[in-house]
Amino acid sequence: MESHMAEHNNEKHYECDVCGKACPFPSLLATHRRVHSGERPFDCSDCGKDFKMAHQLKVHRRVHTGEKPYGCTICGKSFAQSSGLRVHWRVHSSERPFTCSDCGKGFKLSMHLKVHRRLHTGERPYTCSDCGKGFTCSYSLLEHQRTHTGERPFTCAQCGKGYTRSSSLLSHQRVHASDRPVPSPVCE
């Protein structure tokens, strides 16, 4: 009862001898000390990865079990962590918390802002090893490299025509959806 009341009174009687952080319970102090010792006593039985706290292992185990307990009430997509659901929610909302300081454009993800900023700075960290052309993101480089390899991984299920980009395939599929005949290839 006294330790429970100490929590409500915000009393912190247990202090870390390394950094001075105070904790209300000895168990929390023991967990905190792992920051300094590097101890990681919670091991995943599937892959061997280790963790400082039991909760971290519990969340990690979802990688192996496929458990996704956090579901979107709008579209039904589910996530292993609540943070994934919070980020996903931006798909359904107009929230764009990451804003470009140069042009004011807003983004739903910090990574999208980071890539966008490269348009202003001119940074092109992804370079084609065949021709030296630079790109702002890895996916653009991957798409470009298909011009050298001839790879066409996006194939129309109706006619078999291949494309280097998924967007090109989607544009092509409109031909089939509009009931217009697909022109037959000219053989010579």
Using DSSP's 3-state secondary structure scheme, residue 132 falls into coil
On the question of pLDDT at 187 being above 50, the answer is no
21 in the same domain as 48: no
Q: Which domain holds residue 76?
A: 42-92
The pTM (predicted TM-score) of the whole model is 0.53
Answer whether residue 164 is part of any domain: no
78 within some domain:
yes
Query: Domain for residue 63, yes or no?
Result: yes
Give the bridge partners for 87, in sequence order.
Answer: none
Residues recorded for the chain? 188
Count of domains forming the chain: 2
Q: Write out the two tokens for 63.
A: 């990688």
SS3 186: coil
Residue finishing a domain among 57, 92, 127: 92
The two structure tokens encoding residue 139: 């996916």
Dig out the tokens for 31 from the structure. 């967990």
99 lies in a domain?
A: no
Per-residue pLDDT of 120-140, as tens digits, reads 999 999 999 999 999 999 999
In this structure, are 33 and 47 located in the same domain? Answer: no
* Average pLDDT score, the chain: 88
pLDDT at residue 188, as a whole number: 41
The verdict on residue 180 lying in a domain is no
Indicate whether 56 and 19 sit together in one domain: no
Cα–Cα–Cα angle for 121, 122, 127, nearest 5°?
A: 135
Output the domain CATH number for residue 26.
3.30.160.60
Model pLDDT for residues 45-91, shown as the tens digit of each residue? 999 999 998 999 999 999 999 999 999 999 999 999 999 999 999 98
- CA distances from residue 53 to 33, 35, 81, 82, 98 in whole angstroms, order as listed: 11, 10, 16, 18, 31
50 shares a domain with 19: no
